[in-house]
Chains A and B, each alone.
Chain A
Amino acid sequence: MKISYDWLKWYIPEAPKAEKLANVLTYHVCEVESFEKRGDDTVFDINILPNRAHDLLSHQGIAREIASLLDIKFIDPTPKYKIPESQPTTLIKEIKSSKCRRYMGRVIRNIKVGPSPEWVVKHLESIGQRSINNIVDATNIVMYDSGQPAHVFDLKKVKDLKLQVRDAKEGEKITLLNGEEKTFKSSMMIIADYEGNVLDIAGIKGGKYAELTSETTDIILEIANFDPVSVRKTAQALNIFTDARKRFENDLSPELGPYAMRELSALILEMCPGASFEDVVDVYPEKQAERKLTFSAERISEILGLDVSRKEIENILKRYNIEYKNVEGKFKIVVPPLRFDLNTEEDMAEEVGRILGYDKVKSKIPKINFKPRANEIYKKITWIRNKLLEEGYSEVMTYTFSNQGETEVLESASDKKFLRINLTDGLKESLKLNKINSPLLGLKEIKIFEIGTIFLKNKEEVRVAYNEKEKIVEMSLDEFCKSASPDTFSRVLGKNPQTSSKKHAGLAQERFSMWSLFPFIARDVAVWVPESVESSKVQKVIKEHTGKLVILEPELFDEFKKPASSAGGDGKVSYAFRIVFQSMDRTLTDTEVNEIINKINKKIEENKNWQVR
């Protein structure tokens, strides 16, 4: 959520500098994704946590939190809102869906739709919103300021001033403000008049039908509260993302309504001083119950592992304007209506912990006498892995997903929608890949294995698979372990799992080196030299002239002698080296590799009695 620093400062003029503020939020409230200067203002992008989305998705919410957190002055704007004179109203609002918890409305006549005052435009633009007209802007300001979404209809479109919130009829339609048409299911909730005109998708988005125009003079304000799950499901099904949806689906308190109505009315009065207001209609079938919560300083200290005094807690409660009593050594508080996140003693431990700062909680290794048991499956896995490693096998991991199998996953983003029924298929692919790469790996023979889970119709099983040349052998862990002499095996199982990780403890000195994604070219150079010449001497000459494109040491892969004594022998030895070329940033051509090889050959033949084969 975008938050303007200048906007916050209306309420907390003593707020610390932007950078300090970002730090305070990070360590006591939630993550600050970014903050950047925009003109004279600074705009924060804040990731409000789901359990605080009831009270913090707004500038006033954040300002109150910071004021309490830092114990600085909060300037309450409410007393400053002008209260318009008001006439009796004939507006009727009816709640016909159980998913609407409060429905407030107000008729205002004689308004003039026009541009917004400069401060309104500036506030909206600071958080990336576009000014539309004064009345629509007023509803948006109220939402970003108080957290309560608001909406306005053109009064002339509402027959007999009667509105209802009801469940939609299957197949009923709405044309949205942007012209897009949406079709409802009966599980969705709408705002409509009694003539069947749909005005609004409840809590999500307004329709075109009762949209304000430059001709509009009379309007109906709407401030409501809806069930969060219903709003989320409807918006998801219709694929609509709006700021109103975001707030409602996070569950707002219906107690927020009157504040928003007061703010919205005052804003419209400021914009249209000649407007005449009617009384607020408020349908609120079941008032939100007052919630109480009891907790003790001792219990909070136990949870946090930090001694928190009663005095510190009292100080917090005062800063957060939370009403409390001391009852038998415990705190009994009245939970502020917007704080749906505070229900249990543990919630209060979190509240106290984050306010004090988790840096106050000091690391303490528990001194508890646990009686752990050995995990037999893990022992087997470790034994198998070690055995295969010792036999020269290297370990790979392949994908659990496959394009065929007995278990299908739903709605996968990938084309591999099944769970593997064996390790063999994946290992075959791995074998193929590594064989192609064998010159790069410097391996004469590829030996690989995988230990992993496979999924059969009604069970999953951990298996091991490895290759014997081209063939893949796959079996269960137990089957593999049978091949161990019972003696060896029980000895291994008797010990703690053996691992090879000791050398990796401590500082990470080893760094990974990424390989090239471009193809490599391997070439062989074979040389006849006198028997007395050692291979390393030839290798040295090659190395000196291979250039930067070579990626491995020239490898001696063949050597044979024709002693002078033997038939046709001339007392020479042949050394054959493999040289592998690869570039990190392009595909090499034959021509450039040939040039390098020619150069090497030339350098070799500069030596007396050395001859390229």
Chain B
Amino acid sequence: MSEEIKRGKEHPLSILANQAYEVFLELGFEIALGPELESEWYNFDVLNVPPDHPARDMHDTFWVKDNTAPRVLRTHATSVTARMLEISAKENRIPCAFVSVGKVFRNEATDATHEMQFFHVDGVMVGNLKDSVSLANLKGVLAHFYKKMLGEDVEIEFRPSFFPFTEPSIEVWTKFQGKWLEMMGAGMLHPNVIRNVGLDPEKVQGFAFGGGLDRIAMVKWGIPDVRLFYQGDLRLNQF
């Protein structure tokens, strides 16, 4: 007796990752994937994080025992988009835009809202001056993104913030079901970063953003605990 095979259930974060990619592909972004175990250069230096910055402390970042160059478990996927920018600079492929959804790591005690591993959606867009990629474009892209992810009635706003790799830096907040929630860090790429990937800040400008995918899933579906994503428990696959 042949029985029709019932389709299996996808992990909720895969559903969202694919959805995020779809949204960004439609806007002209290119998917970028890269190593999870990353060099100090791509995780920190290239992004203008000062040598003595607290984020580099072992308390915050997983460093790996290594006899050669120091390596870290990437703390964001901006390392991947930075690698792609560097390649694009060499290939003279400006304007360009990249998005990377991937696993990132932080060395911290876990609880309902903190995990040692989680997923980030990180992206960059860089153009020549005539393309005038601006903060207004960043807002346009992210407003579109969150509407697609959380619903057309979602509002977004920018609030002042600080990150070493962006200037100006902003926090992205969304209003979902009547409540304002912090979702991402973003801003215009810092001239030092543009220089570090081999481009000329006098000739190109662009933006970068990054934030948790787990967070979107928790907000969207009301999943109460970030740790549920990594238990290998099929009861999570409800969607």
Residues of A within 8 A of B (CB): 26-31, 49-52, 229, 232-233, 302-306, 344, 346-347, 349-350, 353-354, 358-359, 361-366, 368-375, 377-378, 382, 385, 388-401, 407-414, 419, 426-427, 429-430, 433-434, 437, 440-441, 443, 446-450, 452-453, 455, 460, 496-497, 499-501, 504-508, 510-515
Cβ of B113: which chain A residues have Cβ within 8 Å of it? Answer: none
Asked if B178 is at the interface (CB within 8 A of a chain A CB), the reply is no
Cβ of B144: which chain A residues have Cβ within 8 Å of it? Answer: 363, 365
Bound CA–CA A237/B161 (angstroms): 29
Cβ of A28: which chain B residues have Cβ within 8 Å of it? Answer: 160
Distance in angstroms from A500 CB to nearest chain B CB is 6
Bound CA–CA A497/B153 (angstroms): 28
Contact string against A for B residues 79-94, beta-carbon threshold 8 Å, 1 for contact and 0 otherwise: 0000000000000010
- Further pairs besides A401-B116, A506-B151: 12, Cβ < 8 Å: A27-B160, A52-B162, A346-B188, A365-B27, A368-B127, A375-B31, A377-B33, A396-B237, A407-B37, A409-B65, A455-B37, A512-B239
Bound CA–CA A414/B108 (angstroms): 9
Is the contact region of chain B dominated by helix, strand, or loop, or is it mixed? Answer: mixed
Bound CA–CA A513/B224 (angstroms): 9
Bound CA–CA A409/B109 (angstroms): 15
Q: Flag if B169 contacts A350 (CB, 8 Å).
A: yes
Q: Flag if A372 contacts B97 (CB, 8 Å).
A: yes
Q: A49-B160, A364-B136, A507-B152 are in contact. Are A399 and B117 (CB under 8 A)?
A: yes
Bound CA–CA A31/B148 (angstroms): 27
Bound CA–CA A15/B29 (angstroms): 46
Q: A407-B37, A499-B18 are in contact. Are A368 and B150 (CB under 8 A)?
A: no
Bound CA–CA A440/B236 (angstroms): 12
Q: Flag if A400 contacts B158 (CB, 8 Å).
A: no
Q: Return the contact of B135 from the options A353, A430, A460 (Cβ within 8 A).
A: A353
Q: A409-B64, A412-B107 are in contact. Are A354 and B160 (CB under 8 A)?
A: yes
Distance in angstroms from B76 CB to nearest chain A CB is 16
Asked if B1 is at the interface (CB within 8 A of a chain A CB), the reply is no
Q: Flag if B10 contacts A344 (CB, 8 Å).
A: no
Q: Return the contact of B63 from the options A358, A409, A414, A508 (Cβ within 8 A).
A: A409
Q: Flag if B36 contacts A501 (CB, 8 Å).
A: no
Asked if B120 is at the interface (CB within 8 A of a chain A CB), the reply is no
Asked if B42 is at the interface (CB within 8 A of a chain A CB), the reply is no
Distance in angstroms from B153 CB to nearest chain A CB is 8
Q: Find the residue from B5, B25, B31 having the highest chain A CB count within 10 A.
A: B31
Q: Which residue of B lies closest to A355 (CB)?
A: B160
Cβ of A368: which chain B residues have Cβ within 8 Å of it? Answer: 28, 95, 97, 127, 131, 133
Q: Flag if B168 contacts A303 (CB, 8 Å).
A: yes
Q: Which residue of A lies closest to B158 (CB)?
A: A358
Bound CA–CA A373/B99 (angstroms): 12
Q: Which residue of A lies closest to B70 (CB)?
A: A410
Contact string against A for B residues 12-33, beta-carbon threshold 8 Å, 1 for contact and 0 otherwise: 0111101101100101111111
CB<8 Å pairs between A and B, sample of 25:
A304-B135, A346-B191, A349-B168, A359-B158, A363-B144, A364-B136, A365-B140, A366-B133, A385-B14, A395-B237, A396-B11, A396-B233, A397-B230, A409-B65, A410-B63, A412-B107, A412-B116, A427-B232, A452-B103, A504-B19, A507-B151, A510-B239, A512-B224, A514-B224, A515-B235
Cβ of A497: which chain B residues have Cβ within 8 Å of it? Answer: 18, 21
Bound CA–CA A181/B116 (angstroms): 35
Asked if B69 is at the interface (CB within 8 A of a chain A CB), the reply is no
Bound CA–CA A506/B151 (angstroms): 4
Asked if B197 is at the interface (CB within 8 A of a chain A CB), the reply is no
- Chain B 202-221 residues near chain A, CB threshold 8 A: 205, 220-221
- Chain B 114-136 residues near chain A, CB threshold 8 A: 116-117, 125, 127, 129, 131-136
Asked if B159 is at the interface (CB within 8 A of a chain A CB), the reply is yes
- Number of B positions contacting A (CB below 8 A): 97
Bound CA–CA A413/B153 (angstroms): 40
Q: Flag if B221 contacts A512 (CB, 8 Å).
A: yes
Q: Flag if B162 contacts A50 (CB, 8 Å).
A: yes
Q: Flag if B152 contacts A506 (CB, 8 Å).
A: yes
Bound CA–CA A450/B93 (angstroms): 35
Q: Which residue of B lies closest to A401 (CB)?
A: B116
Asked if B44 is at the interface (CB within 8 A of a chain A CB), the reply is no
Q: Flag if B158 contacts A496 (CB, 8 Å).
A: no
Q: A382-B18, A508-B151 are in contact. Are A396 and B234 (CB under 8 A)?
A: yes
Q: Flag if A303 contacts B205 (CB, 8 Å).
A: yes
Bound CA–CA A371/B117 (angstroms): 32
Q: Find the residue from A27, A49, A497, A512 having the highest chain B CB count within 10 A.
A: A512
Q: Which residue of A lies closest to B137 (CB)?
A: A366
Q: Return the contact of B33 from the options A49, A364, A378 (Cβ within 8 A).
A: A378
Distance in angstroms from B203 CB to nearest chain A CB is 12
Distance in angstroms from B23 CB to nearest chain A CB is 9
Q: Flag if B7 contacts A389 (CB, 8 Å).
A: yes
Q: Flag if B107 contacts A413 (CB, 8 Å).
A: yes
Q: Flag if B234 contacts A303 (CB, 8 Å).
A: no
Cβ of A496: which chain B residues have Cβ within 8 Å of it? Answer: 25
Q: A394-B8, A433-B232, A460-B35 are in contact. Are A346 and B30 (CB under 8 A)?
A: no
Q: Flag if B238 contacts A513 (CB, 8 Å).
A: yes
Asked if B181 is at the interface (CB within 8 A of a chain A CB), the reply is no
Q: A363-B136, A410-B63, A410-B65 are in contact. Are A501 and B95 (CB under 8 A)?
A: no
Q: Flag if A304 contacts B13 (CB, 8 Å).
A: no
Q: Which residue of B lies closest to A434 (CB)?
A: B234
Q: Flag if A429 contacts B36 (CB, 8 Å).
A: no
Q: Flag if A453 contacts B103 (CB, 8 Å).
A: yes
Contact string against A for B residues 160-202, beta-carbon threshold 8 Å, 1 for contact and 0 otherwise: 1110000111110000000000000000101100000000000
Bound CA–CA A402/B41 (angstroms): 26
Q: Flag if A344 contacts B140 (CB, 8 Å).
A: no
Bound CA–CA A394/B11 (angstroms): 8
7 tightest A-B CB contacts, nearest first = A305-B136, A430-B232, A305-B134, A350-B168, A370-B28, A372-B30, A358-B158
Q: Flag if B235 contacts A440 (CB, 8 Å).
A: yes
Q: Return the contact of B10 from the options A29, A401, A460, A500 (Cβ within 8 A).
A: A500
Cβ of B15: which chain A residues have Cβ within 8 Å of it? Answer: 500-501, 504
Bound CA–CA A264/B35 (angstroms): 55
Q: A362-B139, A446-B234, A497-B18 are in contact. Are A392 and B151 (CB under 8 A)?
A: no
Q: Return the contact of A390 from the options B5, B110, B133 (Cβ within 8 A).
A: B5
Q: Which residue of B lies closest to A509 (CB)?
A: B151
Cβ of A302: which chain B residues have Cβ within 8 Å of it? Answer: 129, 132, 134, 205
Cβ of A434: which chain B residues have Cβ within 8 Å of it? Answer: 232-234
Q: Flag if A303 contacts B64 (CB, 8 Å).
A: no
Cβ of B222: which chain A residues have Cβ within 8 Å of it? Answer: 511-512
Bound CA–CA A508/B218 (angstroms): 11
Distance in angstroms from A358 CB to nearest chain B CB is 4
Bound CA–CA A452/B143 (angstroms): 30
Q: Flag if A232 contacts B52 (CB, 8 Å).
A: yes
Q: A305-B132, A394-B8 are in contact. Are A358 and B157 (CB under 8 A)?
A: yes
Q: Flag if A378 contacts B103 (CB, 8 Å).
A: no
Distance in angstroms from B60 CB to nearest chain A CB is 10
Q: Flag if B230 contacts A437 (CB, 8 Å).
A: no
Q: Flag if B13 contacts A397 (CB, 8 Å).
A: yes
Q: Flag if B140 contacts A353 (CB, 8 Å).
A: no
Q: A372-B30, A399-B230 are in contact. Are A385 and B125 (CB under 8 A)?
A: no
Q: A397-B229, A497-B18 are in contact. Are A344 and B191 (CB under 8 A)?
A: yes
